[in-house]
Chains A and B, each alone.
Chain A
Amino acid sequence: MSHRILIVDDSATARMMIQRIFEIAGWQDATFHQAGNGKEALDLLKTEEIDLVMSDYNMPEMDGAQFLRALREDAKFVNLPVIMITSIGNEAREKQLMEAGANAVLPKPVSPPQLNETLVSLFGEVNGG
C-alpha cells in the first residue's frame, strides 16, 4: 500500500514543490493531500487516513506550531509522523518544534536528498510507493 501524505502550507508554490520533491525522492506512488493551514489540515485529518504530515511553520489562521500541538493533544495522532518545514529554521526553532512533538524539522527550500534522509530515518525505507 502506498503512503498517504498530507502537505500543509499556505503557499501553493511550496505545496507543489514539496510534492514534487517527494516524487523525486522516490515517493511518486504516494497519495498526496494538501491543506492551506493548520485548521484545514485538522479538518482533513478527520476524514482521511494519513501516514505522514509535512507542515510549514509560518502560516496564517493556525501556524505550524499550533497545528502540531493540536495534533499531539489528540490521542489518535500522538504517533503520526510529522515533519515540520520552515524558512525560519535554526537550532533554536528546531529544538522548540521537536519538543512540541515534531519528528523532524527541515529548513526551506527542502532538497530531495535531505527529505530522503529524513524519510529513511522515519520509515527505514527509500521508496515510499
Chain B
Amino acid sequence: MADSKQDALIEAVDTALIGTLENMAFAEVVPLRKVPDCEFVDELNVYSVIDLIEPRAGRAVLILSKQLAESITESIYGMFEDGELGPDHQRDAVNEILNTLTGRLCVEMFGEDTIYNLGIPEFGMLAEKAEFQDPSSSWIQIDYSVEGWLLRVLIDTTLS
C-alpha cells in the first residue's frame, strides 16, 4: 500500500477510535506512534473482529486486555445501570465499540455517497487466534494507550 494511503487510513482509524471511545466510555485514547514515551500496560488477551462486506471485502479487529475490556464495560454500564457485570456484558460492549468504530471508519474512508455494509462482530480469546497474534503483512497494526492499557487495531488493507 502506498505510504500516503496508509497514512490516511491510520489517521481515519485515530479519528474513529477517539470519537467512539470518548463518546461511549469517556476513555482517553493516546496514539502510541505520536507519543512514543507514553507508559502503558502491554497486555492483550481478547479480540473482537468484524467483516466489511461492501463496497469491498475487509476486516477490522480490536485487541485489548481483559482488564481494559472490563474497565470500558464498567464505564459504559456505570453511567446507566446498577448490578453486576459479567463476561457477556464485556463481550457485548467490546463488540458494540468495534461496530461503531468500524462504521465511523468507513464514513472517514468511503465518504457520504457510498453504501457500505458490515457483518456482525465476533468476540474471542486472542490465544485462540494465531492470525491476530502475529498478523501478516496484509494487515495494518495501529497501537494506542487507552486509560494506560495497550489497545491494538488491526485493519485488513483491502479496506483502503
Number of A positions contacting B (CB below 8 A): 24
**Is A107 within 8 A of B103, CB to CB?**
yes
Within the complex, the shortest CB–CB distance from A54 to chain B, in Å, comes to: 15
- A47 on the B face (CB < 8 A): no
- B10 on the A face (CB < 8 A): no
Q: How far is the CA of A88 from the CA of B96 in the complex (A)?
A: 12
Q: What interface size band does chain B fall in?
A: 20 to 34
> Which residue of the partner chain, among B88, B96, B100, B115, contacts A93 with CB atoms under 8 Å?
B115
What secondary structure prevails in chain B residues at the interface with A? helix
What is the 8 Å Cβ interface bit string for chain A, positions 62-94, against chain B (1 contact, 0 not)?
Answer: 000000000000000000000000111111110
Once A11-B92, A13-B76, A13-B92 are accepted as A-B contacts, the answer to whether A90 and B111 lie under 8 Å apart by CB is: yes
Closest Cβ neighbor of B114 among chain A residues? A92
Within the complex, the shortest CB–CB distance from B121 to chain A, in Å, comes to: 9
Closest Cβ neighbor of B94 among chain A residues? A13
Closest Cβ neighbor of A110 among chain B residues? B23
Once A13-B76, A16-B77 are accepted as A-B contacts, the answer to whether A89 and B103 lie under 8 Å apart by CB is: yes
**Is A20 within 8 A of B79, CB to CB?**
yes
Q: How far is the CA of A12 from the CA of B20 in the complex (A)?
A: 17
- A96 on the B face (CB < 8 A): yes
Once A17-B76, A88-B117, A90-B107 are accepted as A-B contacts, the answer to whether A11 and B99 lie under 8 Å apart by CB is: yes
What are the residues of chain A within 8 A of B96 when measuring CB–CB?
11, 13-14
**Is A58 within 8 A of B99, CB to CB?**
yes
Q: How far is the CA of A114 from the CA of B103 in the complex (A)?
A: 18
- B66 on the A face (CB < 8 A): no
8 CB contacts below 8 A, A to B, read A16-B80, A58-B118, A87-B99, A87-B104, A88-B106, A90-B114, A91-B112, A109-B23
* B-binding residues in A (CB < 8 A): 10-14, 16-17, 20, 58-60, 86-93, 96, 107-109, 111
